[in-house]
Chains A and B, each alone.
Chain A
Amino acid sequence: MLKKIWGFFISLRLTIVLLILLSVVCVIGTLVPQNAAEHEYLHRYSQPAYELIKNLGLTDMYHCWWFMAGLGLFTLNLAACSFNRLSRVRRLLAPPAQTPGEQQWQGMGNIKKFTIKKGAPAKVDAMVEAMVEAMAEAVGRFLCMPTVTRRDGKTYIVADTGRLSYLGFYLTHIGMITIIAGVLVGAMGFQGFMKVDEGETQSTVTLKNSLVQHDLGFALRCDRFEVSYYDQERMAEDTNEGRMPKDYKSWLVVVEDGKDVLKKVIEVNDPLIYKGIFFYQSSYGASAAMGGEVLLRIKPAGAEKAREYRVRQGQRFAIVGTKDEAVVDTILADFAMDDGTYFSRSDEPNNPAVRVIVFRAGAELESPWAFMKFPDFHRKPGAAYEVQLADFYPRYFTGLQVTRDPGVNIVWLGCIFLIAGICMAFFMSHRRLYLVLEEKDGGLRAVLAGSASKNRQAFAADFNRLFEQLTSLEKQS
């Protein structure tokens, strides 16, 4: 019974069935949206279909129990196969016989017997030297130097290289198991997201799946945020999605026990690392706290010139040359209007707008909107002031992806095993050459045998070339 179970786990059929099953299941996972909002599913599927999909775990398929079970079975299969072949690999890796008898060379793919009549035994040493040289050349001098053994009147020359290729499949499988182990260790870490407004300090992260607030044990301050854009004129005309950011950076400071302990300017592809926690630049936007400043150009009706005011959100200021006051009531980065209510469509400064309320003698006089991109839009005739939005300096927030993954280095180690294993398994060949010389009747009887575990045609050609070379040695001597 145990043997049967073991036989099941080490079978190739299980491997192939699992590979195909996992592939099919993964296809389903790419067709059904993962971890989407409920209304998105209901938009795509009917209510009963959605219930079914949800109960089957297809809405978060890569983390549901049966997908995990499949991966677990796959891992067991990998581990069992590796264990099962341990003794065989040990045998294959054993060093070659130094004095191969007929048994050893009989099974090899290429065998040539020949005799060298004259010259021996006086010139045996010189011959052996030349033969070692020729074999070293044939096998690859840098990979292996042939060994020479003399016993009972026979001389054995053995060249053996690439035995490690048998280890390749082993290393590949160990690599896979190591990667899976690394993933499991990584589950002890966390992934989350934090938004820090410019100038603010924050010490909690919103965890990815549970949305729980996680305390970091230290705080992070964002001193500054900056975004630069590609040159607009170069852009194709049909991209009306606004300017395309070229680069964005956050000036971050780690604050621990009230002290600044680490400063770094991070950008995409260059994270901040502190105590094993990685902070990645992931997004940005105009702060939802409606911060920011605007440059207003206000001209009283009938006046010659407009005057500029740089003011913050909520700031009350006097209009120069009059007794009136004004306040910046609302700043929107991307103005939009729906059913009479206005809001910011996005965090991008695509359509900056400002509403200014003008007071005369303490009472509201008028409350014009001004749009940076449409200076003449929405102008009321007979208004006391002409207000223009000359510039907009949003207060940004920086969006940081926060990760602690204690398993990531184990995963990389597994990846190195995997690549090395595949290289060894497919591109290294175990090549063996035996040459046995026996002195007889003043001459030499020779057997040359060779085999390769891969690319046998090319090896046979090399083998024949070596044979020609060895037999021509006789003529030279």
Chain B
Amino acid sequence: MTSSKLLGITTLVYLVCMAGNFAYLFFRGRKLHAALMGIAVLGFAAHTAGLGLRWHESYQIGYGHIPLANFYEALVSLSWTTMIIFFYIEFRYKVKLMGALVFPIISLAMAYASLSPGVQSEITPLIPALQSNWLTYHVLTCFLAYSSFAVSFVTSIVYLFKAGSHERAGQPPVKSTDVMPSLEAIDEIIYKTIAIGFLLLTVGIITGSVWANYAWGSYWGWDPKETWSLITWFIYAAFLHARLTRDWRGRRAAIISIAGFLCVLFTFLGVNYVLSGLHSYA
């Protein structure tokens, strides 16, 4: 069994989870949900094993590094961190809607990573600057933050759709057949995931600074990636201030959350493809 085979199986399992969670929106049922969670846990186990095996394989080749070194590994690891955030929200807040939101992004990322010809899946060596334990701390916290923000992003889109359909219907439907949780509950998830993401992004930026200080002798260099992560941090800080002191909720909050995630996307992808700098290897 190779890591790429395991990760391929993982992708298939996540696709099944996605279909199952869509079905759950319409059919409901405690048993169906429990079964879906079981499948998700199995998929996550395969995912974890796949990443672990890839790590092991990199040692066999003689490179020996955690699978966080190129775009393929970034996508697979980001999907993995998104699963962790998904499980956390699911168990902590018991919102059974999350699966239908999260699995489409995860399946897409996994499928894109393994199928797109533009994404090289070979294990590549690390340049000396990246050979440090800080790589793990820095990238993992940043990825967990990205994942949190991704969850808040999809939730915000659902919020806008639902709020829009309520407006068209005049009154919020109080039918038991409504497949979504209440607007308040959705709003709460947006806030929670942003709060978690903000903490993780803060830790991610700081671990990056500590590492930069240790490797290059400067904790901040206004490198484009650094600057964009700071911009993202500013936007979510503005969101949290508006929420905590002015009680901005609902549509306005959802729009800031979407804007924040566009910044996250640019920080993750745009900086590498459009701008250049110290992070251009990532």
- Interface of A with B (CB < 8 Å)? 12, 15-16, 19-20, 22-23, 26-27, 29-31, 34, 62, 169, 183, 191, 230-231, 234-236, 244-248, 267-269, 271, 278, 280, 282, 401-403, 405, 408, 411-412, 415, 418-419, 422-423, 426-427
Q: Are A411 and B128 in contact (CB under 8 A)?
A: no
Q: How far is the CB of A245 from chain B (nearest CB, A)?
A: 6
Q: Are A23 and B231 in contact (CB under 8 A)?
A: yes
Q: What 0/1 pattern do residues 144 to 168 of B give for CB contact below 8 A with A?
A: 0000000000000000000000000
Closest 9 CB pairs of A and B: A403-B217, A268-B128, A426-B195, A280-B217, A30-B224, A19-B238, A401-B217, A269-B132, A23-B231
Q: Are A280 and B230 in contact (CB under 8 A)?
A: no
Q: Are B213 and A268 in contact (CB under 8 A)?
A: no
Q: What 0/1 pattern do residues 233 to 260 of B give for CB contact below 8 A with A?
A: 0110110011011100000000000000
Q: List 26 A-B contacts (CB under 8 A).
A: A12-B242, A16-B241, A16-B242, A19-B237, A19-B238, A20-B235, A23-B231, A26-B231, A29-B222, A191-B218, A230-B125, A236-B122, A236-B124, A246-B128, A247-B128, A267-B128, A268-B131, A269-B132, A278-B217, A401-B216, A403-B218, A405-B218, A408-B213, A411-B219, A419-B202, A419-B206
Contact of B275 among A30, A268, A419, A423 (CB under 8 A): A30
Q: How far is the CB of B114 from chain A (nearest CB, A)?
A: 18
Q: Give the docked Cα–Cα distance between A23 and B203 (Å).
A: 20
Q: Are A12 and B124 in contact (CB under 8 A)?
A: no
Q: How far is the CB of A19 from chain B (nearest CB, A)?
A: 4
Q: Give the docked Cα–Cα distance between A169 and B202 (Å).
A: 14
B210 within 8 A of A: yes
Range for the number of chain B residues in contact with chain A: 35 or more
Q: Give the docked Cα–Cα distance between A19 and B237 (Å).
A: 8
Given contacts A236-B124, A422-B199, whether A30 and B227 have CB atoms under 8 Å apart is: yes
Q: Give the docked Cα–Cα distance between A234 and B61 (Å).
A: 8
Sample of 12 further A-B pairs with CB below 8 A, known A29-B222, A244-B127, A415-B206: A16-B238, A19-B235, A34-B222, A234-B61, A234-B62, A246-B128, A267-B128, A268-B131, A269-B131, A280-B216, A415-B209, A427-B195
Q: Give the docked Cα–Cα distance between A299 and B230 (Å).
A: 64
Q: How far is the CB of B47 from chain A (nearest CB, A)?
A: 26
Given contacts A26-B230, A280-B215, A403-B218, whether A269 and B224 have CB atoms under 8 Å apart is: no
B174 within 8 A of A: no
Q: Are A245 and B127 in contact (CB under 8 A)?
A: yes
Q: What 0/1 pattern do residues 2 to 46 of B give for CB contact below 8 A with A?
A: 000000000000000000000000000000000000000000000
Residue among B63, B238, B245 with the most chain A CB within 10 A? B238
B88 within 8 A of A: no
Q: How far is the CB of A182 from chain B (nearest CB, A)?
A: 9
Q: Which residues of A contact B124 (CB under 8 A)?
A: 236
Q: Give the docked Cα–Cα distance between A29 and B224 (Å).
A: 8
Q: Which residues of A contact B224 (CB under 8 A)?
A: 30
Q: Which residues of A contact B63 (CB under 8 A)?
A: 230
Q: Give the docked Cα–Cα distance between A282 and B127 (Å).
A: 12
B55 within 8 A of A: no
Q: Which residues of B contact A269 (CB under 8 A)?
A: 128-129, 131-132, 134, 214-215
Q: Which residues of A contact B61 (CB under 8 A)?
A: 234
Q: Are A191 and B217 in contact (CB under 8 A)?
A: yes
B198 within 8 A of A: yes
B87 within 8 A of A: no
Q: Give the docked Cα–Cα distance between A20 and B203 (Å).
A: 22
Q: Which residue of A lies closest to B211 (CB)?
A: A269
Q: Are A12 and B246 in contact (CB under 8 A)?
A: yes
B268 within 8 A of A: no
Q: Are B217 and A19 in contact (CB under 8 A)?
A: no
Q: Are B215 and A268 in contact (CB under 8 A)?
A: yes
Q: Are A22 and B241 in contact (CB under 8 A)?
A: no
Q: How far is the CB of A260 from chain B (nearest CB, A)?
A: 23
B112 within 8 A of A: no
Q: Give the docked Cα–Cα distance between A278 and B128 (Å).
A: 18
Q: How far is the CB of A421 from chain B (nearest CB, A)?
A: 10
Q: Are B218 and A246 in contact (CB under 8 A)?
A: no
Q: Which residues of A contact B196 (CB under 8 A)?
A: 426
Q: Which residue of B lies closest to A60 (CB)?
A: B222
Q: Which residues of A contact B122 (CB under 8 A)?
A: 236
Q: Which residue of A lies closest to B206 (CB)?
A: A415
Contact of A248 among B62, B120, B128, B246 (CB under 8 A): B128
Q: Which residues of A contact B71 (CB under 8 A)?
A: none
Q: Which residue of A lies closest to B124 (CB)?
A: A236
Residue among B61, B62, B124, B217 with the most chain A CB within 10 A? B217
Q: Which residues of B contact A22 (CB under 8 A)?
A: 234
Given contacts A12-B245, A29-B222, A245-B128, whether A423 and B199 have CB atoms under 8 Å apart is: yes
Q: Give the docked Cα–Cα distance between A341 and B199 (Å).
A: 58
Q: Give the docked Cα–Cα distance between A247 and B224 (Å).
A: 26
Given contacts A29-B222, A234-B61, whether A23 and B235 have CB atoms under 8 Å apart is: yes
Q: How far is the CB of B58 from chain A (nearest CB, A)?
A: 11
